[in-house]
Structure 1
Amino acid sequence: MDQSDYNQFLDVVYDSAVDPGSWPRLLRRLAELTGAETALLIQQDEQVGKGQAIRVNIDPDAAEPYYGHFATRNVLHNTKDPVETLRKWTPGILTDEDKLPKSDLYRTEFYNDFMRRFGLHSVMMVRLAVLGMDTITLNLTRPITRDQFGAPEIKLAGRALPHLIRAFSLSQKFAASRGLKDDMTESMDRSPHGLFLLGETGRLRHANRVGEALLAEAGGLCLIAGGLSATRSDQARRLESLIAAAADVDPDRRRGGSMALPTATRRQPLSVTVTPIGAERRSIFDPGPSVLVSVSDPDAGVSLSEDELRDLFGFTRAEARIAQAIFDGDSPRQAAERLGISFHTARHQLQAVFEKSGTGRQGDLIKLMVRATGGRGD
């Protein structure tokens, strides 16, 4: 890797320092540079084995058996005396062969029932930090069809190690100063719309008063395993697909959308809009709310009109239209297509909307518009 490529990699590292939501991109890039198949940033309690992780390219089903059973049987991680281990713990680079010979690993329950099941054969562990009884480790893995991690990959990881440690430390500090603001939830609770804040896994984090009432009704919205869904299977698949698209960890793939949700008690279907609102985090491992689902009842006649947007924020008619499109879940490119304008024009109009509304990004604009709708209809 030449110096230019390395400098670009460091840009990704320090982007993650100021934006905890960028860690999946960093993991993906580090996996590419080291020839790894998967990458995981793991926080694990050394005494009880519980923890959490950010995962790239690994089966999401691996988390439940690992933390439910195998975390305490991980021969590459666990020690007989966690307190003494943490006292001597230092950052660094280790491979599975530094921990025990491969022939010994092959005879363990952890390898045969967990690693092989999920295609994990070779592991390089980048040790970053200790937080109380928790260790923070960045694990890179390869399948059995690939060679072990060798000297070039270990050298690259060692070169990146001080930057990764610094980025993790800064990221913790930045994330601690962010998170869901009280005024956001208060504004949600004043809104005449049903509003639901979801984490990036789709689990419900907050529902306003109207949203809770909608969940209590039969034949419409419901919660399944803590996630927002619909009672009819076809509607559930559509809604869950929209939520998954809005919560995608890749910013380039994150997009909003909308659907109609018929119910047995209403003349017209509910209007459901799903919008990505960013990833404001209290910690790297706490994704924070990343999806806003707005549910409107057309029969109630509540909306944020073009004229109201112009009166509230001084938007031009064109700017009000693109603000509405963003609020409805469109990306700038989708809004341009819907409005019949060029993408360049849409971006120019959206920048004017940000300047006039005092916001700097789409998530902030949506929050502001939620507050604007929240002042009516009580």
Structure 2
Amino acid sequence: MKDRETWQSEFVAELFANLTKRDAFVGALSNFTSNWRDVIFGWQVMQVGVNEWSFAKPFNCDDAFYRDFFEVAHLHPFPPQVKPSDWHNDMVSSEAVLAPEELAHTEFFDHAFRSRGNCDRIHALRVYEKGPNVAALAAHLPRQLGERETSELWQALAFIKPFMQSAYRLSLELQERQARARPTEQFWLDRLPTPAFVLDRNHRVLMMNREAAAFFQTSEVLALDPRSVVLPRGKGNAKVWQSAVAGAFGSARISGPNYLRTATGPPIGLFAQSMSQEPEHPYSIDPFRQDYQEVLVHVLDPAQVPRGSSSALEGAFDISRSEARLLLELVSGLSLREAAGKLGISYHTARNQRANMLSKSGLRSQTSLVCRATSTLLKSPLPE
């Protein structure tokens, strides 16, 4: 074990040096936990009341322990019994709620720890808490750990506590600043030829292009309240809107096409995609980053599809003009039968044209075809 002054200075230096990396905290904690090889540590983010982990990194154990632990993690007896009043200066010991003998003879500890030192106590350090999620460092103490070593470990956890808490909050602050610093986004948003706008998690519009501003003024399916929050209109559209936006948060895939029904005209196409492709950040702060995530929403109003779209699809998919016209109608939200009727062709011809487009594009479904066509249209240059 390193002397106290050495490991303390190394811990603080490494902790703040790697603050924005994906494995931030891991390097500093690896060095810290190596001073107590008989103690199994866990750096984790979890919902305490229901024993659900969204992030976990163990130390001083092998992969077999990690597997055994999560086979019975839902039976962990300690976290659900910790009440807010049990925390003292953001630290708590299992002995405050469970006797060591009682803890050691549970099904959870029998399965996960019996061959690893008969753990009978846990020390926990709360680093950050918001809503149901708690970021914490837990130390699982073996029965043979003496009173002096136990006291030293408690004091060591107390030492790293303010540094861990400061570093964690700083990581979140950096993410918030990165999410809010977008000096060039309005420029590229204005280059999109169809209505497009950026939402936060409260469905408040943070920015929009000119086409979106015009769309909101006349739309019968979406409106803005005085706080710039999007309000869906029309029967059934609220559910479609909620599903489309919720599906985009936290996902790298485009949510859509989703169609908002109008009273008199064709439906309005809706595509949403996360804007979370950001610089590196620590894995362990992911559960607390949701407030900073944003979604880009594209609206395809058949009345506002830009000129030249048909020719753009011809070139992108290597299809005929008639096939491109059919695809354009599908993008606008019409069914294959409705599109055939509008174009004055038979349903059989429309099916053949769709099959030909799927074959040329290598796609397997009409939904995938429409999604790719939409992406192509959104990247098309503005009309001169």
Give the TM interval when normalised to the shorter protein: 0.3 to 0.5
TM-score normalized by the length of structure 2: 0.42
Q: Which structure would you say has the larger Rg?
A: 2
TM-score normalized by the length of structure 1: 0.42
